[in-house]
Amino acid sequence: NLEIKQNMAKNFYVKDLKDTVVTNEKQTLKVFDDSVNRRKTACTDLNAHSSRSHSIFSVTIESLDYEMDSTAPVIMNSKLNLVDLAGSERQGKTNTTGETLKEGCNINLSLSALGSVINCLVEGKPHIPYRGSPLTMLLKDSLGGNARTVMFANIGPADKNVSESISTLRFADRAKQIENK
CA distance 154 to 177: 18
Instruction: Give DSSP secondary structure letters for 34-75.
Output: HHHHH--EE--SS-TTEESS-EEEEEEEEEEE-SS-TTSPEE
Task: Read off the amino acid at residue 77.
Answer: N
Tell me if 144 sits within 8 A of 169, measured CB to CB.
no
CA proximity to 168, closest of 123, 106, 111, 128 = 111
Q: 147 — phi, psi (to 5°)?
A: -70, 150
CA distance 143 to 160: 32
At residue 22, the pLDDT reads 93
- Dmax (CA) for the chain in angstroms is 64
Q: 21 in helix, strand or coil?
A: coil
Per-residue pLDDT of the chain (181 residues; tens, 9 = 90+): 678 888 888 788 888 888 899 999 999 999 999 988 888 888 887 777 777 778 888 888 999 888 888 888 899 988 888 888 887 777 777 888 888 888 888 888 999 999 999 999 999 999 999 999 988 988 988 888 788 888 888 888 888 888 888 999 999 999 999 887 7
At residue 173, the pLDDT reads 93
Q: 33 in helix, strand or coil?
A: helix
Tell me if 155 sits within 8 A of 172, measured CB to CB.
no
CA proximity to 142, closest of 53, 81, 58 = 81
At residue 45, the pLDDT reads 76
Residues 6+ apart with CB under 8 A from 143: 117, 118, 121, 136, 149, 178
Tell me if 135 sits within 8 A of 114, measured CB to CB.
yes
**pTM across the whole model:** 0.80
Positive/negative CA dihedral, 139, 144, 145, 148: positive
At residue 1, the pLDDT reads 63
At residue 119, the pLDDT reads 95
